[in-house]
């Protein structure tokens, strides 16, 4: 049995773990990184990267049939589903070196390709190696949650961990789960030539603002995706190519089944009890991301039990580096964390929703909207579906929701404003190039000042005085 002493031992080489490892090692700490599966974790191999690559393939197919308004004769796309998956794996392979074992060993990190489990409060065992560390970081991410639906264990089904290896194009894809993963995959497959039915036990995109979600759901339905809500799956039967899902709101048949009902945090293999680490569905941590019961242990990203976003794990990594390396107080917050669903149109959000802002601030919460249809660039490109909605309190944005083209890009301005506690004037005063979709943000900010300037008797009185008396 080998034994290693180190400053920091990181369990999990996904986005968060890799960020901590790189930052800590380059600042002089001795680092051991454990990974029992694939370097890069879920995001690179099964999540963000492959899903966006498949969505891109779908967009190209869709564009071939929608050019008539621009004078381009529509044509039926000839989709090679297997080749689309080649594109997905090519993208993964291109990014893979950035997350590779070799790159991180180049930083001086000892990478051990084994799962780690706690054997004491200060030790983790990985294969035939015991690592004793001053600090541990649990960055194990999550995996698809597969609910115990009757009959599911008897039929073939896909998750986000298998769907990107599927080479046979589904004739009719049944998607159980109407959240971001389900909706992104539903639209991508529809555009690649599949019939698609989404089955959701509650409301599709139910965690988003209903007004904004409706913009996306209406487009998906227009593209031919069947979305069934309030339909809890009760029983699944059939075999490969012929699957039946019985729900509380009807029975649905398809050729393939995708389970997209949520995520489960990867903590089962960690033997947290031996490490004196309290947990429920995730590690119990404080605002400082330290375990509430073993202060030598941090948990970040999905393992910390909050929002499940790659960029949140990266943010958490910065908190840990500040705390573990420099001994400085650092606490994580979520009010400035944006998220996006990469359907077409996209849906992005940061901060408080309209309902949350009104609940927190009452009548003092103000809401301002601006439609894509009044943005010149959106008109030029035929992308007029959508709107931005900004929640304001005492002159500062406290939340923003965008449903429309490039919403995931446009939300960045609001994420920066909220993170830095900027006033609406900071956005309204910003000069942006014309014509761009980003002007939607500026117009929404300007809408805050419109009634204060143009509907104010006091302003008109001042202007009248200046025009009459000032030469």
Q: Which residues are annotated as a binding site?
A: 52, 116, 140-142, 177-184, 200, 262, 302
Token pair for residue 45?
A: 């191999």
Sheet holding 365-371, edge to edge: 339-341, 346-351, 396-404, 387-393, 365-371
Contacts of 433 (CB under 8 A, 6+ apart): none
Token pair for residue 109?
A: 């990190």
Q: Is 104 helix (H, G, I), strand (E, B) or coil?
A: helix
Cα 89 off chain centre by: 20
Annotated binding site for FAD: 52, 116, 140-142, 302
Rg (CA), the chain: 25
CB half-sphere exposure, 113, CA atoms < 13 A: 9
Buried b (16+ CB within 10 A) or exposed e, 94-113: ebbeebeeebbeeeebbbbe
Q: 180: alpha, beta or left, given left = phi > 0 and alpha = psi -120 to 50?
A: alpha
**DSSP letters spanning 250-312:** EEEEESEEEE-S-EEES-TTS-TTTTT--BSSSB-B-TTSBBSS-TTEEE-GGGGTS---HHH
Annotated binding site for NAD(+): 177-184, 200, 262
């Amino acid at each position: 049995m080998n034994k290693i002493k180190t400053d920091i031992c990181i369990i999990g080489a996904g986005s968060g773990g890799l960020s901590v490892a790189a930052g800590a090692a380059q600042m002089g700490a001795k680092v051991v990184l454990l990974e029992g599966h694939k370097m890069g974790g879920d995001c690179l191999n099964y999540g963000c990267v492959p899903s966006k690559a498949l969505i891109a393939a779908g967009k190209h197919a869709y564009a071939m049939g929608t050019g008539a308004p621009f004078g381009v004769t529509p044509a039926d796309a000839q989709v090679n589903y297997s080749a689309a998956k080649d594109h997905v794996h090519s993208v993964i392979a291109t990014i893979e070196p950035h997350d590779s074992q070799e790159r991180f060993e180049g930083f001086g990190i000892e990478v051990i390709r084994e799962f780690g489990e706690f054997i004491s409060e200060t030790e983790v065992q990985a294969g035939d190696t015991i690592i004793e560390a001053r600090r541990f970081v649990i960055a194990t991410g999550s995996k698809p949650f597969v609910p115990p639906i009757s009959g599911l264990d008897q039929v073939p089904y896909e998750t986000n961990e298998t769907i990107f290896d599927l080479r046979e194009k589904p004739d009719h894809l049944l998607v159980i789960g109407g959240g971001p993963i389900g909706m992104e995959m539903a639209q991508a497959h529809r555009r690649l030539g599949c019939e698609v039915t989404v089955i959701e036990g509650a409301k599709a995109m139910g965690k988003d603002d209903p007004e904004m979600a409706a913009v996306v759901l209406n487009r998906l339905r227009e593209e031919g995706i069947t979305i069934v809500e309030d339909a809890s799956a009760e029983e699944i039967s059939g075999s490969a190519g012929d699957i039946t899902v019985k729900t509380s709101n009807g029975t649905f048949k398809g050729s393939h089944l995708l389970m997209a009902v949520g995520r489960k945090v990867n903590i089962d293999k960690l033997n947290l009890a031996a490490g004196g680490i309290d947990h429920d569905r995730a590690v119990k941590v404080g605002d400082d991301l330290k375990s509430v019961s073993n202060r030598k242990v941090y948990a970040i990203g999905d393992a910390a039990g909050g929002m499940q976003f790659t960029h949140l794990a990266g943010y958490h990594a910065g908190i840990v580096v500040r705390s573990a390396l420099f001994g400085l107080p650092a606490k994580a917050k979520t009010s400035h964390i944006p998220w996006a669903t990469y359907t077409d149109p996209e849906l992005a959000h940061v901060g408080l929703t309209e309902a949350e802002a009104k609940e927190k601030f009452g009548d003092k919460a103000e809401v301002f909207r601006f439609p894509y249809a009044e943005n010149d660039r959106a008109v030029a490109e035929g992308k007029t579906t959508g709107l931005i909605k900004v929640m304001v309190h005492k002159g500062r944005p406290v939340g923003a929701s965008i449903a429309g083209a490039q919403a995931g890009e446009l939300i960045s301005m609001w994420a920066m404003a909220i993170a830095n506690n900027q006033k609406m004037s900071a956005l309204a005063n910003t000069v942006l190039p014309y014509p761009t979709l980003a002007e939607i943000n500026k117009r929404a900010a300007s809408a805050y000042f419109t009634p204060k300037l143009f509907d104010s008797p006091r302003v008109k009185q001042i202007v009248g005085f200046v025009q009459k008396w000032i030469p």
